[in-house]
Amino acid sequence: MKSPLLVAALLAVVPVNEGWSWGQEGHSIVAEIAQRRLSDTAAREVDRLLGSELTLPKGARFSLSSIASWADDYRSDMGPKGHIETYNWHFVDIPYDRDAYNAVRDCSADPVKGDCVINALARLVPELSDCSKKDTERAMALKFVVHFLGDLHQPLHATTRINPDTAADDLGANLIQVTFFGQPSNLHKVWDSDLILHKVYDWGEYVRLLETTWLPGKDIAALQAGDTVSWGEDAHRVAQIVAYEFPPDHALGQEYYDAAIPMVDQQLALGGLRLARVLNEAFQPGKICPER
């Protein structure tokens, strides 16, 4: 059963996790665009793996959008301290003034908070098709991968900048206070959710708009090419040329929105297309693991 509106209604009662990830809408948009491009084999395996954690009838269907924000809840909500060891897995801090990813500089492992989204995906994607793993372990990897492919495409999850006013790291623009059409916000949150919700307050409708205006006529294979490093560097470039181009008074309005929203559309669509590629490659006909 695939009903974006129903899922949106269900998600609306979940507390919003501010400032650290595409909002739930962005993740749901990426996941739904991917879901529509899964091969039959991949779609069956997604249903089977996600079903392995639940006592639902065999053959139950799942929407990737419904589990797309699970990794944020896992990080912050479970247990007394949450799963802080996954904290840094949601982003890669390529410095604003550099163009290329450097693994030593940008993805070294913090003993408490983990390394970065590039290394997290390098570990998790192979787990999807690792038949030595239990189904529940592979289901967990799937939930992480769906989320992290989204995060990797959020420009401010691929960039951080030393604030020229304070000489301090702005934490992916979380520390840059702005107003967005008069409402207090921060620059990171503007990209996580404010821009998306300003365009249309309904992620299912956002998907429909991308499917009817952005995606038609595109060379899908070309857009799916590359790897997690090049995808992160592409997102980083969007941060350099658009996200950080805010006015000196930090008041973001129509002019900023008009420059930013084509990039938001692009990054959400690319995230969905590339997630579809990753899942279709992981779950190929003839290479599906036996149930365990």
Question: In the complex, which residues of this chain contact Zn ion (CB under 5 A)?
Answer: 21, 72, 90, 151
Q: Which is nearer to Zn ion, 116 or 176 (CB)?
A: 116
Instruction: Give CA angle at 235 (66, 64), nearest 5°.
Output: 10
Cβ 124 to Zn ion shortest distance, Å? 13
Cβ 67 to Zn ion shortest distance, Å? 13
Whose CB is nearest to Zn ion? 21
Q: Which is nearer to Zn ion, 68 or 282 (CB)?
A: 68
CA distance 38 to 21: 24
Q: Which is nearer to Zn ion, 72 or 265 (CB)?
A: 72
- Residue indicated by tokens 């956002």: 206
Report which residue type is found at 98.
R
Buried-exposed string 51-71: b where 16+ CB fall within 10 A, e elsewhere: beeeeeeeeeebbbbbbbbbb
Q: Which is nearer to Zn ion, 153 or 277 (CB)?
A: 153
Q: Which is nearer to Zn ion, 43 or 140 (CB)?
A: 140
Cβ 255 to Zn ion shortest distance, Å? 28
Q: Give 150's Cβ-side CA count (13 Å radius).
A: 31
Cβ 83 to Zn ion shortest distance, Å? 12
Beta-sheet strands, E only, within 36-189? 177-180, 183-186
Report helix angle 135-152 to 117-128, nearest 10: 140
Cβ 125 to Zn ion shortest distance, Å? 16
